[in-house]
Amino acid sequence: HMYFNWREALHGVYWHDNFGYYWSHGCVNLTVSDAKWLWDNWVTLNTRVYVYDEKPG
């Protein structure tokens, strides 16, 4: 998950393929391949990454 708000995140989903329609309560659902592309192309070496011990929100 790449959180952009306390409860909303960008994340890949494998449990549905109903993209383009309302599906969650605020998260941006991405295909797993799109999430991988985002990680591979947007996050660069030395980008600060926060790891939480528990789920925010």
Q: Which domain holds residue 7?
A: 2-42
pLDDT in tens, the chain (57 residues): 666 777 777 777 878 787 766 767 777 788 888 888 888 888 788 888 777 666 555
Asked, for residue 31, whether it belongs to a domain, the answer is yes
Is residue 52 domain-resident? Answer: no
Q: Is residue 56 part of a domain?
A: no
Number of domain units in the chain? 1
Bridge partners of 27, per DSSP, are none
Reading the block at residue 55, the tokens are: 């789920």
pLDDT at position 56? 53
On whether residue 48 sits in a domain, the answer given is no
| Predicted TM-score of the model (pTM) | 0.56
> Within 10 A of 9 (CB to CB), how many other CB atoms are there?
18
What's the confidence (pLDDT) of residue 21?
Answer: 67
